[in-house]
Amino acid sequence: MEYFAQQLINGLTLGSIYGLIAIGYTMVYGIIGMINFAHGDIFMVGSFIALIAIIAIGLSAATPFFLMVLALLLVLAIAMVLTSAWGWTVERLAYRPLRGSFRLAPLITAIGMSIVLQNFVQIAQGARVKPLQPIVTGSYILMEKDGFVVSLSNIQIIIIVTTVGLMAVFSLIIARTPLGRAQRACEQDRVMASLVGVNVDRTISLTFVMGAALAAVAGLMYLLYYGVIDFYIGFVAGIKAFTAAVLGGIGSLPGAMLGGLVIGLIETFWSAYFTIEYKDVAAFSLLAVVLIFLPEGLLGKPEVEKV
């Protein structure tokens, strides 16, 4: 029971990171109906920006608590702003010029942007992994039996609380703000939305910016949690987050978060109770099974054909 509880905590933490990245996929797909395969590398860029900011500020575990909180908020703000600029750039270069083209063109361009970002970071920062000493330390013992301790660390609390908070904020933005109404209008019909006064180009650009900002948050959380990054983490995390978005229902924000949690839990429990080499096989097998019986995903809605 204690081992199960510890893996449950670990799985929720990993799933929260996947969920934050998956929201970016599902927001872009909901509006323009295309997958931004460069989004995983936007997450990777955000983690490197956060690492550079942490090193520049000189943040460490010895920093006093109040100054650490302020420094982490500053790092988060820097990562979100600069990563959002990258997201906006991807939209301008890879999507807007090809929006009226055949559907495969922007997909190929997005893959090209993914390769460009990977190689740019590899050249700029080197191919070696970049370690970071633990900054947020400390944990709480929840259970202990026969020498096995179930603990909940401060960084795990931060990741889960941050994810829940951002999910609530973005759900309110989509449901209650003029930007959210514009996004939902573009999702239904971009031509009709433009006819009633919605600035479609700006709405789509802001959607890319919002998704990149969430990816930056996930990048910082990943860096603080694992303490090591490299130029390739965007590809792996991006595929997992895309799988989470499809599993939960592409186009659904709660579905993206649910899918992220499911993927995180599957990976963690499979690694704990079975061989770790096949954890990805387990996750993708579940995706296949779900899509066979629920083609729209767990919380997705059937697509209505416009005539």
pLDDT tens digits, residue range 10-56? 999 999 999 999 988 888 887 777 778 889 999 999 999 999 999 99
- What gap in Å lies between CA 290 and CA 191, rounded to an integer? 33
- What gap in Å lies between CA 210 and CA 32, rounded to an integer? 15
Domain boundaries, the chain: 17-246
Mean pLDDT of 235-244: 87
Mean pLDDT of 176-188: 88
**In sequence order, which ranges of 58-142 are alpha helices (DSSP H)?**
65-90, 104-125
- What gap in Å lies between CA 230 and CA 289, rounded to an integer? 32
- What gap in Å lies between CA 143 and CA 182, rounded to an integer? 48
pLDDT digits (tens, 9 = 90+) for 92-142: 888 888 877 777 787 788 889 999 999 999 999 988 999 999 898 888 888
Inter-residue contact 120 to 47 (CB < 8 Å):
no
pLDDT-wise least confident of 39-53, 210-224, 251-265, 271-285 = 271-285
pLDDT of residue 305: 54
Residue 199 has pLDDT above 80, yes or no: yes
The overall average pLDDT reported for the chain is 88
pTM: 0.91
Which residues lie closer than 8 Å to 155 by C-beta, 6 or more apart?
136, 221, 224, 225
pLDDT of residue 224: 93
What pLDDT band is residue 304 in, cutting at 50, 70 and 90? low
Mean pLDDT of 183-208: 88
Provide the percentage of residues in the chain whose pLDDT is more than 70: 98
Per DSSP, the residues of 272-304 read: HHS-GGGHHHHHHHHHHHHHHH-TT-SS--PPP
Residue 303 has pLDDT above 70, yes or no: no
- What gap in Å lies between CA 47 and CA 227, rounded to an integer? 11
pLDDT of residue 25: 86
